[in-house]
Every structure is written in structure tokens, then in C-alpha cells.
């Protein structure tokens, strides 16, 4: 009888532990630029994140109810760093989704590793995840991946000479430097390199110097509003040189802000901006098509790179939760993230200990703005 009671007690404790685990809250803190210049990326990410969580069965991940807390970083690295500590110490976050920009991600990199807090950023700068550090993960492809696709398209067009125009911030310096490196490696003649401050409102002087050098194509690497100003200045001066923009412009906001000046511009885009252009053979197509439809119905706006990051964050965390054996902790989640295999907005990925993005080069497709929308580049 004593043995039976012990077995019964043991089973009771196991069931109680399982129930507690199932009800354990999954604390997600999103640090996003929902105001300021970077809000064209952070705002859609918040919307995509909220909608994707709402679509989860019982709004739970791995049987655990999700608690989502969102803070506005304003794209300010100092504020972002402060919010990281708040997320870790006050909100007991299991994971941070964000921050939005490369500069913010680089600023908090040592902090999240010190706090041992898994973080999934929307920043595309290569230096965020190269070299890999234990707790920083990233959702979009790197600027190197985007530059490779862009330069391949430039070569397919038969262009021989290029100019690079980039912003003097973390994103622009990283992508602009990689574009120069890869252009030279591809045998293209780099005839001009120009820069601008993220606060500049007129890039005509830089474009005039580029025109004098006779470039066949212009690579522009910056977050908005820089590229919008560049394409408008180019139209004003009747500059006909084809312009290629980074995946930072994989956003409907760029087309809206650029207006007619955006017509004909090439973008190293994430295919979510034109779901119908994704081949039927691509396993991410049904996911992206369904998400884009729901997003448009809910918010009255097309899905884009930012909203796709919100989707991917939930898909990645859901895949990771299924790999966790035992309690949910920051450490168990970090370990699980390093083994995630899934398809989403940014592509199909296999995250590994030596690759905290896990994406391949086909995650980026060069598209062209035609008739006020992204289309497959001709």
C-alpha cells in the first residue's frame, strides 16, 4: 500500500508539473521603432507580430499563453539599451523581438549577451551576427546577401561601371562597404563612392558627381528617407541612370513616399512585397500569400518586410518551443533557437550554432517598381 501511495503521489506531482508548464507564460517583449523615421519598419513589425500571435491556437506558443509587451524605441540606441534592461529585469522577458535597426542592434549586442537574453532583431547589417554571439539572432538576410543579388542583377543587365551612394550610419556603412567589395570582386568598374548624412535633405551634389563619372548603375544603401530623397533628386535633374536600392526599401512606404520618382527603381526585395511573384515551388509561398491576405484585410495595407518580420518572429519562436524539453527559460529557448528549421516571410531557414540567421541567398529577389507596385524585375 505504501508503494502504491508513493506511485500515486508521484503521478500527481508529475501531472501538476505538466499543468504548470503548460500554463507558464511565454513573455515576449518587442522593442520596435514605432515612431520616428524608422517607424516605417517598426510599425508594420508590431502589426505583423500582433496579428500572428492572435492567429495562434489559444494565443499560445508551445502550450504556454503568450504575453506580448511592446515598447517604442524611437530608433534611438540609448533608449533601446535602457529598454533591454527593463525587459530583462521588470518584464522577465524570455525573448526580445527587435530592435528595428542595425544601429540599435549593434548598440545592445554586448548587453543582451551579458544578460543572456535571446534577441531576434530586424537589423540586416552583417556585423550583427558575424561573428556569431550567443544570444543575438536576426530575421532578415544580411546586407551581403542583398548585395550579392543586386550585383548579379546589375551584371545580367550588362552594366560595366557602378557608383555607390550610402548613408553614414551603421546600415549604410556596412552595406555600402560590402557593395564596394563585391563590385570589385565581380570585375565591375567602381567609378564613384559618395556618402550622405541620414539627416541630409538633398543629395543632388552627390548625384551630379556620379553623373560626371558616367556610371552605368547607381547602388544606394540606406534606410529611409535617404533613398526617397535620392530618387526624387534624380528625377529633378533628369538623371536616367538605373538606381538599385537595398532590401531596406522592401517596403510599401518607399513607394508611397517616392511616388512617381520611384517608378523603374530596382530593389533587392524580400518577396513578401509581391507574393504572387513567388514561384509555386517555393515552400514559403502559401505562408506568405495567406499572411499578406489577412494583413491587407485587417490593416488595409499591403504586407511588407517589416510586417513579415513580425510573422517570422512568431513562426521561429513556435518552432523553437516545440524543441524545448522541460521548463521554458532564456537558456533553453536560446538552445532551441539554434536548431530551428522553418519557412516564413524572409525565406526558408536552418538556424545553426554558427549561423544565427540561417537564410540562403534565394531569400532576396531583385524587383522593380512598376505602376506603383513591386514587380519581378525585367
Spell out the domain ranges in the chain. Answer: 2-141+285-360, 144-269
Cell of 21: 508548464
Within this chain, domains 2-141+285-360 and 144-269 share the same CATH topology:
yes
In the numeric block, the cell 570582386 is attached to: 185
C-alpha angle with apex 281: 277 to 282, nearest 5 degrees?
65
Listed in sequence order, the residues at least 6 apart from 370 whose beta carbon sits closer than 8 Å to its beta carbon are 263, 264
Q: Please state, rounded to an integer, the average pLDDT across all residues of the chain.
A: 92
Per-residue pLDDT reduced to its tens digit, 18-64: 443 445 899 999 999 999 999 999 999 999 999 999 999 999 999 99
DSSP letter string, 17-53? HHHHHHH--EEEEEEE--SSTTHHHHHHHHHHHHHHH
- 337, 358 Cβ separation under 8 angstroms: no
Nearby residues of 348 by Cβ (< 8 Å), 6 or more positions away? 283, 284, 342, 359, 360
Burial 76-106 (b: 16+ CB within 10 A, else e): bbebbbebbeebbeebebbbbbbbbbbbbbb
> Is pLDDT of 314 > 80?
yes
CB atoms within 10 A of CB 69: 14
Mean pLDDT of 128-137: 98
Quickly count helices (H) and strands (E) in the chain.
12, 15
The whole model's pTM is what?
0.87
Q: What is the mean pLDDT of residues 269-275?
A: 91
pLDDT at 6: 39
pLDDT digit string, tens, across residues 151-183: 999 999 999 999 999 999 999 999 999 999 999
* pLDDT given for residue 23 in this prediction: 59
Residue 338 confidence (pLDDT): 98
CA 167 from chain center: how many Å? 19
Name the fold adopted by 2-141+285-360: Rossmann fold (3.40.50)
DSSP string of 120-160, one letter each residue: EE----GGGTSS--TTEEESSPPHHHHHHHHHHHHHHTT--
Fold of 144-269: Rossmann fold (3.40.50)
How far is it, in rounded angstroms, from Cα 327 to Cα 21? 6
Given a cut of 50, whether residue 378 has pLDDT beyond it is yes
Is 306 within 8 Å of 45 (Cβ atoms)?
A: yes
Amino acid at each position: 500500500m505504501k508503494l502504491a501511495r508513493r506511485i500515486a503521489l508521484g503521478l500527481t506531482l508529475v501531472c501538476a508539473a505538466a499543468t504548470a508548464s503548460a500554463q507558464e507564460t511565454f513573455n515576449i517583449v518587442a522593442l520596435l521603432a514605432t515612431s520616428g523615421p524608422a517607424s516605417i519598419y517598426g510599425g508594420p513589425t508590431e502589426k505583423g507580430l500582433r496579428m500572428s500571435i492572435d492567429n495562434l491556437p489559444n494565443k499560445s506558443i508551445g502550450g504556454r499563453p503568450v504575453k506580448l509587451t511592446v515598447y517604442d524605441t524611437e530608433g534611438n540606441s540609448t533608449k533601446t539599451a535602457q529598454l533591454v534592461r527593463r525587459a530583462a529585469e521588470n518584464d522577465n522577458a524570455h525573448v526580445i523581438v527587435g530592435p528595428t535597426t542595425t544601429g540599435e542592434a549593434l548598440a545592445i549586442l554586448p548587453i543582451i549577451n551579458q544578460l543572456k537574453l535571446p534577441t531576434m532583431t530586424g537589423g540586416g547589417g552583417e556585423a550583427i551576427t558575424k561573428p556569431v554571439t550567443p544570444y543575438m539572432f536576426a530575421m532578415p538576410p544580411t546586407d551581403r546577401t542583398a548585395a550579392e543579388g543586386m550585383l548579379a542583377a546589375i551584371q545580367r543587365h550588362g552594366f560595366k561601371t557602378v557608383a555607390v551612394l550610402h548613408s553614414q550610419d551603421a546600415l549604410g556603412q556596412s552595406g555600402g562597404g560590402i557593395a564596394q567589395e563585391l563590385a570589385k570582386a565581380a570585375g565591375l568598374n567602381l567609378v564613384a563612392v559618395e556618402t550622405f548624412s541620414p539627416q541630409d535633405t538633398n543629395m543632388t551634389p552627390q548625384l551630379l558627381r556620379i553623373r560626371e563619372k558616367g556610371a552605368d548603375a547607381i547602388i544606394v544603401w540606406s534606410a529611409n528617407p535617404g533613398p526617397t530623397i535620392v530618387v526624387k533628386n534624380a528625377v529633378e535633374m533628369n538623371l536616367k541612370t538605373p538606381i538599385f536600392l537595398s532590401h531596406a526599401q522592401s517596403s510599401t512606404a518607399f513607394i508611397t513616399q517616392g511616388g512617381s520618382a520611384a517608378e523603374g527603381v530596382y530593389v533587392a526585395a524580400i518577396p513578401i512585397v509581391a507574393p504572387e511573384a513567388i514561384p509555386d515551388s517555393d515552400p514559403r509561398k502559401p505562408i506568405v500569400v495567406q499572411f499578406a491576405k489577412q494583413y491587407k484585410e485587417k490593416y488595409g495595407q499591403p504586407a511588407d518586410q517589416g510586417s513579415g518580420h513580425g510573422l517570422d518572429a512568431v513562426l521561429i519562436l513556435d518552432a523553437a518551443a516545440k524543441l524545448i524539453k522541460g521548463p521554458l527559460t532564456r537558456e533553453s529557448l536560446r538552445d532551441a533557437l539554434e536548431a530551428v528549421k522553418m519557412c516564413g516571410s524572409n525565406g526558408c531557414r536552418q538556424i545553426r550554432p554558427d549561423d544565427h540567421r540561417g537564410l540562403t541567398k534565394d531569400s532576396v529577389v531583385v524587383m522593380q517598381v512598376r505602376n506603383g507596385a513591386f514587380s519581378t524585375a525585367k
